[in-house]
Amino acid sequence: MAQQQTTVPSDNKIMALEAFEHVPNENVARYLELGQIIDDLVREKEPGMLVHALTQTSRNETETVFRWLEVFENSEALEAHLGSDHVASHIEQLSTGILTGQIDLVIYADWDDDTRAYWQDRFSTVNFSYAEVESGFYRQR
């Protein structure tokens, strides 16, 4: 059984996540404004973020689903992102009714059980899962 870690697990492997956010169609313009603001701040303040891209994945008569693709240099860069004031402010703004439901978060990482347990606990407020990679690799820097 994996032990619960209290410090950020250290590794030098690149990892990625996808965050799916459901937005009522009447909130899309405001959501995109907030997306541009956070994108600019992440570019400026987070050298460990290698890719930060927002795409629209689907739209129906009531809501639009957007996907953030975020690629991090390592786990420390992910922790820096999550612990930043600008991300906290962004999440706070989204929680004022901009989104419908929870954020769906998918992690792509080559982590051991202890590291997975740490991040499972860290992401307890979102609908969280690991991508089961059938084939692929994670570069180490």
Residues with Cβ < 8 Å from 18, sequence gap 6 or more? 67, 68, 69, 70, 105, 106, 108
User: What pLDDT is stored for residue 4 in this prediction?
Assistant: 52
Question: ∠ CA 43-47-49 to the nearest 5 degrees?
Answer: 70
The H or E element containing residue 71 is strand 63-72
Pairwise CA distance, residues 37 & 141, whole Å: 29
pTM: 0.88
With a cut of 50, which residues of the chain have pLDDT below it?
Answer: 1-3
CA angle 15, 20, 21 (to 5 degrees): 140
Query: What pLDDT score was predicted for residue 1?
Result: 45
Quick one: tokens of 35?
């997306």
**85-95 per-position pLDDT tens digit:** 999 999 999 99
pLDDT at 101: 84
In 3D, which of 48, 51, 7, 42 has the Cα closest to residue 141? 48
- Name all domains of the chain by residue range, CATH numbers in brackets: 26-100 (3.30.70.100)
